[in-house]
Amino acid sequence: DAGITQSPRYKITETGRQVTLMCHQTWSHSYMFWYRQDLGHGLRLIYYSAAADITDKGEVPDGYVVSRSKTENFPLTLESATRSQTSVYFCASRLAGDAEQYFGPGTRLTVT
């Protein structure tokens, strides 16, 4: 049971480049989420999805794009990376009607 995985685990990219972070879950959870975590801050919601083809903005969506064509995948794209997007990104999922979110291991992204 793989659960929820993220790739890559570490990424270094340059300012202005496009980068996509992948998230995959094997539980068929309908809800999926993307958070970023910066030193001194808690987790901040970027985008979430209630089902395939249904996405909505979170607290800090600017500069990010998401899609969800399949239930199990929820990629996050930084269209033109900036240094302020250097962070640890966590993907999470949960069952509809359930409270518990299950987090992936995180992707540490550095934008130089």
Partner 1 sequence: QQPVQSPQAVILREGEDAVINCSSSKALYSVHWYRQKHGEAPVFLMILLKGGEQKGHDKISASFNEKKQQSSLYLTASQLSYSGTYFCSQAGAAGNKLTFGGGTRVLVKP
CA angle 15, 92, 59 (to 5 degrees): 60
Q: Alpha-carbon dihedral of residues 30, 9, 78, 54, nearest 10 degrees?
A: 0
Question: Interface with partner 1 includes 99 (CB under 8 A)?
Answer: yes
Contact 49, 60 (CB under 8 A): no
**Residues in contact with partner 1, shown as a per-residue x/- string from 19 to 58 under the rule CB under 8 A:** ------------x-x------xxxxxx--x-x-----x-x
User: Which of positions 52-91 make contact with partner 1 (CB under 8 A)?
Assistant: 56, 58-59, 90
Tokens 């993220």 sit at which residue?
Answer: 6
∠ CA 14-20-24, nearest 5°, is 145
Compare residues 94 and 111 and give the one whose CB is closer to partner 1: 94
Taking the complex as a whole, the smallest distance from the CB of residue 99 to partner 1 amounts, in Å, to 4
Please answer whether residues 111 and 82 qualify as being in contact, where contact means their C-beta atoms are separated by less than 8 angstroms.
yes
Q: Which stretch binds partner 1 (CB under 8 A): 10-18, 20-28, 60-68, 104-112?
A: 104-112
Residues that bind partner 1 (CB under 8 A): 31, 33, 40-45, 48, 50, 56, 58-59, 90, 99-106
